[in-house]
Structure 1
Amino acid sequence: MDVSHSIIENIDNPHELERMFRKEPEAFKKSFLYAWEQNPDSQVLAVWHERLTFKENPNTEKASLFQKDFLSMGVLAVLAGICTRIILHFAEQQAITPINLVFGILPFMAAYFVYNNTSQKSVLYTLASLFLISGFFLNMLPLEHTDSIILAYLHLPVFLWLLLGLAFTGNEYGKGSARLAYLKFNGEFCVLYASMAISGMVLTALTMQLFRFVGMDISEFYFENVVLFGAAALAIVATYLVSRNLKLAKSIAPYIAKIFSPLVLVTLLVYLITVIWVGKNPFLDRDFLLSFNGILLSVLAVTIFSITESGTDEKRNISDHINFALIVLALIIDSVALSSIVFRLSSYGITPNRLAVLGVNILIWANLSWIMLSYLRFLQNKTGPSTIQDAVTKYLPVYGLWAAFVSFIFPLIF
């Protein structure tokens, strides 16, 4: 009964009660009921009583399996798999371009968000019309590998990704918090999808080997009908799990962000020093300029991922300084790439590729500058982390507009 008396004596000392619980949780639980019976009017003990005796409805988890979002996930996953397989069939017949495979996944992810959110009709009509127009326009383009058409193929998924963001945010598409939640969703989605995809690869390798033991090669059939179907359906399943606040993805994503940022920073520094050492020149070497832009996009993605996973912690830590250094380095790379593309435009003339690369570099340079200035003010204790997140979220529509311009206007101009 000593513990019970200690609880009663410290009934107005929450800190001591917490210390006692953490020191001997089982003894605390056993002795608590006596203290609770002696002091039934204590609000402090009432909270502790709920904390120690609270049990969720045992049928909650089972019932959740039959909720509308689970059922909609199952139906949409099957439809995504079937639709993707049909698109692949026509792509193999060279009737349509393989980039149409994105229409086997993204519209169904958007449908999941729309079905489980209460969006205004204007949002629904906008999504439906833009997806239809995108699919129609894409398949009206000639099946030629000209520069402008290839650029349309590359930029259209970016535009569709922004449309998916509209479906995710719904009526709150104008709020920075909703856009930030969408970016977080993407990070957690990638972590979870990659984890499940690795398991799928192991299963595929095992299946292939088992059939080889009996003298059968089912690789072509399996990849076209099972792997492709599974890859498309898995996107819907991962969407469902992340939307249901699966703890695995949410707990791993911040750690991945903290680990990758310093690794990318060190790798990038070593790479740039090596580039200077061997004398590579992005002004004259076209392939090197393209790789420079690829590095820039990767660094931008890692930076945004790290910012979105940093949360709303007002405290400055080493991760913030690493992110700031990464942004400054990315800005330097972008400045070099921007100078190189301007040089090539003035020296060799205008082409669709050069204009597209110029536009992307200008957009990224402006975005990185905004993020860098916001980060600088944050590190100087002038603002909170929300200003950095605003620099990321408020700029997203700009990328979408540019992607739409390249996808729909470039093929008409060039």
Structure 2
Amino acid sequence: MEMISLINENRDNPHELERIYRKEPEAFKASLPNAREQHPDSQVLAVWYERLHFKETVHQEKASLLSKDFLSMGVLAILAGIVTRVMLHFVEKQFIAPMNLAFGILPLMAAYFVYKNPPKKGVLYILGALFLVSGVYLNLLPLEHTDSIILAYMHLPIFLWTLAGLAFTGNDYRKGSTRLAYLKFNGEFGILYAIMAISGMLLTALTMQLFRFVGLDIAEFYMKNVVAFGAAALSIVAVYLVSRNLKLAKNIAPYIAKIFSPLVLVTLLAYLITVMWVGKNPFLDRDFLLAFNGILLSVLAVTIFSITESGADENKSLSDYINVALIVLALLIDSVALSAIVFRLSSYGITPNRLAVLGINLLIWAHLLWIMISYGRFLRNQTGPSAVQAAITKYLPVYGIWAAMVTFVFPLLF
């Protein structure tokens, strides 16, 4: 009764009500309905009532949705695990290519996206047809380790990742904001999956050690049946958790981007200085050229991750200048790599590998140049950060198209 009287006495004093609430929130919340009944015309008490009880309504609505989403996630996760385990059996028997394992995960991730954000029938039919054609085409390729087929295996997951992006964006696939959301999703998904995978590895080590104590070695059985199943199922679980706006991944992703960007910049500078010191030559050393391209892809991934996690803040920060430095370094690396590839093509002739590497380096070079120009305009206050993000998102389909060409055309040409 004392709390009710206190609320009524200060019903027209919002500052004092806030102080009372912070001092005894539970008692305040319990007494507020009675106080409001005595003064039903008080707008201040009405606002307080909505503030304290609105979350309960939202929670109940979410709970009903959670059961449907959780059930769908569970079914798809189990299906992903079963499909992956069955495919692994046929891979071990050398009946199908190992790259078929991608079809145990990416199409089911796309299915969850479609469930969460149902697209028009046209988009749905295109998705289904492209996944089906990709699976059939992959298994029509001979099980040979020729350059063109290996390239197809390497580029197929990129193409399937693009299809998953189409499922994620749904009817808004042309909007830069939804493409940016897909990139952010990938960053948060990777972080969350890594955390859960580390926990799974610890559980695996503990389980196998416990069985060793009783004289049983279950390593082979456990890896084939439990780990393979769990790794595939875990991807769907991670998709579900990220789509539920799990705060862990969303809160940690920007910090990881801010920490890794300067570390990558310093490491890259040290590496390039060392390369020049020891006299490595990408024009003559094929393995070093491949390593150079690996560095380029890593820098591109880190830069995109950092930019997408920076948000829409108009204020410039140290991270922006670090990103520009990374882009400039990546452009220098790509220019050297392109020169080396052209040199090898003119000296040793055309091969599928050289042509594929030339194509992806040209695409990355053009993309990096576009991002750098956009970033320069942003730093000169000519545009906002959205222009930089647009330079990233608008170019994404180009990678998917190139991956499709290498996957479907190269094996036919070579």
Could you tell me the TM-score, scaled by structure 2's length? 0.92
**Distance in 1 separating the partners of 2:254 and 2:28:** 39
Q: Kindly tell me: are residues 170 and 37 of structure 1, through their superposed partners in 2, closer, same or farther at Cα, counting changes over 3 Å? A: same
CA contact (8 A) 2:11 2:44 kept: no
User: 2:214 is aligned with what amino acid?
Assistant: V
Deviations 1:130-182 (A, max 9, x none): 01111111111111111111000000100000000001111111111111111
1:201 aligns with 2:201: yes
Q: Kindly tell me: are residues 112 and 387 of structure 1, through their superposed partners in 2, closer, same or farther at Cα, counting changes over 3 Å? A: same
Q: Which residue of 2 aligns with 1:93?
A: 93
Q: Which residue of 1 aligns with 2:342?
A: 342
Q: Which residue of 2 aligns with 1:190?
A: 190
Could you tell me the TM-score, scaled by structure 1's length? 0.92
- 1:25 pairs with one of 3, 22, 27: 22
The CA RMSD over aligned residues, in Å, is 2.5
Q: Kindly tell me: are residues 221 and 313 of structure 1, through their superposed partners in 2, closer, same or farther at Cα, counting changes over 3 Å? A: same
**Distance in 2 separating the partners of 1:345 and 1:52:** 69
**Secondary structure, aligned partner of 1:56:** helix
**Distance in 2 separating the partners of 1:332 and 1:116:** 42
Q: Kindly tell me: are residues 49 and 356 of structure 1, through their superposed partners in 2, closer, same or farther at Cα, counting changes over 3 Å? A: same
**Distance in 1 separating the partners of 2:28 and 2:200:** 49
Q: Which residue of 2 aligns with 1:239?
A: 239
Identity %: 74
**Distance in 2 separating the partners of 1:321 and 1:83:** 46
- Deviation of 1:71 (Å): 1.2
1:385 aligns with 2:385: yes
**Distance in 2 separating the partners of 1:402 and 1:284:** 27
Q: Which residue of 1 aligns with 2:227?
A: 227
**Distance in 2 separating the partners of 1:256 and 1:22:** 37
CA contact (8 A) 1:83 1:104 kept: yes
Q: Which residue of 2 aligns with 1:413?
A: 413
Q: Kindly tell me: are residues 221 and 378 of structure 1, through their superposed partners in 2, closer, same or farther at Cα, counting changes over 3 Å? A: same
User: 1:126 is aligned with what amino acid?
Assistant: I
1:397 aligns with 2:394: no
**Distance in 2 separating the partners of 1:25 and 1:266:** 47
CA contact (8 A) 2:11 2:42 kept: no
**Distance in 2 separating the partners of 1:39 and 1:388:** 54
1:70 aligns with 2:67: no
Q: Kindly tell me: are residues 53 and 137 of structure 1, through their superposed partners in 2, closer, same or farther at Cα, counting changes over 3 Å? A: closer
**Distance in 2 separating the partners of 1:137 and 1:100:** 11
**Secondary structure, aligned partner of 1:354:** helix
More displaced 10-residue stretch of structure 1: 54-63 or 155-164? 54-63
- Deviation of 1:324 (Å): 1.1
CA contact (8 A) 1:261 1:306 kept: yes
**Distance in 2 separating the partners of 1:355 and 1:65:** 49
1:277 aligns with 2:274: no
CA contact (8 A) 1:7 1:35 kept: no
User: 2:190 is aligned with what amino acid?
Assistant: C
Q: Kindly tell me: are residues 282 and 21 of structure 1, through their superposed partners in 2, closer, same or farther at Cα, counting changes over 3 Å? A: farther
Q: Which residue of 2 aligns with 1:261?
A: 261
**Distance in 2 separating the partners of 1:283 and 1:42:** 80
- Map 1:1-400 to 2 at 5 A: 11=14, 17=15, 21=18, 25-26=22-23, 46-57=46-57, 59-60=60-61, 62-67=63-68, 69-400=69-400
User: 2:399 is aligned with what amino acid?
Assistant: Y
**Distance in 2 separating the partners of 1:205 and 1:391:** 44
**Distance in 2 separating the partners of 1:314 and 1:348:** 49
**Distance in 2 separating the partners of 1:324 and 1:158:** 26
More displaced 10-residue stretch of structure 1: 145-154 or 315-324? 315-324
User: 1:164 is aligned with what amino acid?
Assistant: A
Q: Which residue of 2 aligns with 1:14?
A: none
- Deviation of 1:411 (Å): 0.5
5+ residue gaps, structure 2: none
**How many equivalent pairs are there?**
407
- Deviation of 1:349 (Å): 1.0
Deviations 1:252-290 (A, max 9, x none): 111111111111111111111111111111111110110
**Secondary structure, aligned partner of 2:56:** coil
